[in-house]
C-alpha cells in the first residue's frame, strides 16, 4: 500500500497569509546570513538544513488521503479541499480519457470532508466511474445538497461520471473484502453527528485513518473494542487538533489533543503515529511547537516504540 496525504487541515481551509509568509522569509534569510550562504550551488543543501516549519508549509487544505493498493487501485478517504489537487494529478492519466475507476470513502458528512468534490475534475468526465462508500445511508442526498442552487452552478447529479453507491455500515462487524488480499473495516468514533475510522489490511500490514474523533480516557472506555481495532497498526493517521488545555475547554467538540493522541498510539503499540486535522488558527510555527511538545511528552513515557510525525501535505508512506 502507498498512503499519501493531500489535505491535513481541520474545519476549514487556512492558506498561509502574508504576515506568516513574510515571517518565514525573514527567518530563512537570517539562517542564510548566519550560515554564510554565498553560492547558488549551495541553495539546495541550505534548504535541507532548515527546520521543518521553514523547509515546508504543513498545508491549508482540508482532509483528503489516498491509499493505492499493491494492485494499483485507488481508494480516496474523504473529499476535503485537498481532493482538488489530487484530481488535477489524475487528469494527467486515465481520468482525462474517461477511463478512470476511483473508490471514494467517507468518514462522515461534515462540510470540510466533502467540500472538495465539486472541484474534483474527474467527476465531470464521461466514462469515469466513481464508487462511493459510506456507513451513512443519506450520502447521495448530502452530496447533491452541497451542489444545489444557489450554492453551486453545477448539480451533483448532472456531473458526467458514472456514480455507484455502497453502504458499508456492516463493516463495523465484518471486514469488507475489496480485493483478494485487501480488506477494510470501520469503527464508530466520538464526534458530533458521528464519524468512522477506516482500517486497511493488505499483506499483513495495517493502515488506520481516524480523523474527527475525541479520544479521552472516558471516551475510550465507552467505545468498546477500541483497543482491538487500533492495536498494532503500522501507521495511524489520527486527529490531534488541540492542545491539552484547549481540549478541556472544548469538550464534546469532537477532536483530540496531541497529548492524548500520543498516549493512545503508545498504548495501542502503533508503529507510526501521524498527527493530523490541524487547527486552522495555528500557524506552521505553532504546529511545529506543538509537535515538539508531543515528542517531549512521549519521551517522558516508558517503553515508547512509536515513531511520531506531524502530517504535512504531500507526505507519502509505503507499507
Do 82 and 180 have their domain in common?
A: yes
Mark whether 154 and 23 lie in a shared domain.
no
Do 49 and 9 reside in the same domain of the chain? no
For 101-194, strand residue ranges (E) read: 101-105, 129-134, 162-167, 176-179, 182-189
Q: Are 278 and 160 members of one domain?
A: yes
Q: Does the structure show a pLDDT above 90 at 221?
A: no
**Counted domains in the chain:** 2
Residue with cell 464508487: 131
Q: Based on the fold, state whether residues 45 and 191 are members of the same structural domain.
A: no
The domain spanning residue 80 has which CATH number?
A: 3.60.15.10
26 and 6, same structural domain?
A: no
Q: What is the pLDDT of residues 262-277, one digit of tens each?
A: 999 999 999 999 999 9
Cis ω for the linkage preceding 150 (within 30 of 0): yes
Q: Domain of 125? A: 2-14+57-318
Residues 39 and 165 in one domain: no
Task: Identify whether residues 167 and 279 lie together within a single domain.
Answer: yes
Beta bridge partners, 164, equal 131
Same domain for 32 and 84, yes or no, is no
Asked if 27 and 137 sit in the same domain, the reply is no
Going by their DSSP bridges, the two strands 235-239 and 272-276 should be labelled as parallel
Dump pLDDT digits (tens) for 2-34. 999 999 999 999 999 999 999 999 999 999 999
Give the pLDDT confidence of 42-91 residue by residue, as tens digits. 999 999 999 999 999 999 999 999 999 999 999 999 999 999 999 999 99
Tell me whether residue 174 is exposed, middle or buried, using C-beta atoms within 10 angstroms of its C-beta: 0 to 12, 13 to 18, 19 or more. Answer: exposed
Do residues 147 and 7 both lie within one domain? yes
* 261 shares its domain with 188: yes
Amino acid at each position: 500500500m502507498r498512503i499519501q496525504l493531500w489535505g491535513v487541515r481541520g474545519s476549514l481551509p487556512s492558506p498561509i497569509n502574508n504576515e506568516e509568509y513574510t515571517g518565514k522569509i525573514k527567518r530563512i534569510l537570517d539562517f542564510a546570513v548566519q550560515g554564510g550562504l554565498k553560492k547558488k550551488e549551495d541553495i539546495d543543501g541550505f534548504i535541507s538544513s532548515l527546520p521543518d516549519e521553514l523547509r515546508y508549509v504543513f498545508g491549508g487544505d482540508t482532509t483528503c488521503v489516498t491509499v493505492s493498493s499493491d494492485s494499483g487501485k485507488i481508494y480516496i478517504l474523504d473529499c476535503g479541499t485537498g481532493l482538488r489537487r489530487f484530481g488535477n494529478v489524475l487528469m494527467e492519466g486515465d481520468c482525462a480519457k474517461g477511463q478512470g475507476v476511483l473508490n471514494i470513502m467517507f468518514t462522515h458528512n461534515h462540510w470540510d470532508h466533502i467540500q472538495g468534490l465539486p472541484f474534483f475534475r474527474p467527476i465531470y468526465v464521461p466514462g469515469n466511474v466513481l464508487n462511493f462508500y459510506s456507513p451513512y445511508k443519506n450520502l447521495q442526498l448530502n452530496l447533491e445538497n452541497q451542489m444545489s442552487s444557489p450554492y453551486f452552478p453545477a448539480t451533483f447529479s448532472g456531473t458526467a461520471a458514472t456514480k455507484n453507491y455502497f453502504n458499508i455500515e456492516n463493516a463495523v462487524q465484518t471486514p469488507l473484502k475489496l480485493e483478494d488480499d485487501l480488506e477494510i473495516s470501520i469503527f464508530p468514533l466520538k464526534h458530533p453527528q458521528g464519524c468512522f475510522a477506516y482500517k486497511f489490511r493488505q499483506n499483513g500490514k495495517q493502515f488506520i485513518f481516524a480523523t474527527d474523533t475525541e479520544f479521552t480516557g472516558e471516551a475510550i472506555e465507552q467505545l468498546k473494542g477500541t483497543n482491538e481495532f487500533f492495536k498494532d497498526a503500522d501507521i495511524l493517521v489520527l486527529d490531534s487538533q488541540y492542545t491539552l488545555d484547549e481540549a478541556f475547554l472544548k469538550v464534546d467538540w469532537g477532536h483530540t489533543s496531541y497529548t492524548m493522541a500520543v498516549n493512545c498510539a503508545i498504548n495501542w503499540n502503533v508503529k507510526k503515529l501521524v498527527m493530523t486535522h490541524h487547527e486552522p488558527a495555528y500557524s506552521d510555527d505553532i504546529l511545529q511547537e506543538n509537535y515538539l511538545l508531543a515528542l517531549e511528552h512521549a519521551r517522558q513515557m516508558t517503553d515508547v516504540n512509536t515513531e511520531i510525525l506531524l502530517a504535512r501535505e504531500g507526505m507519502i508512506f509505503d507499507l
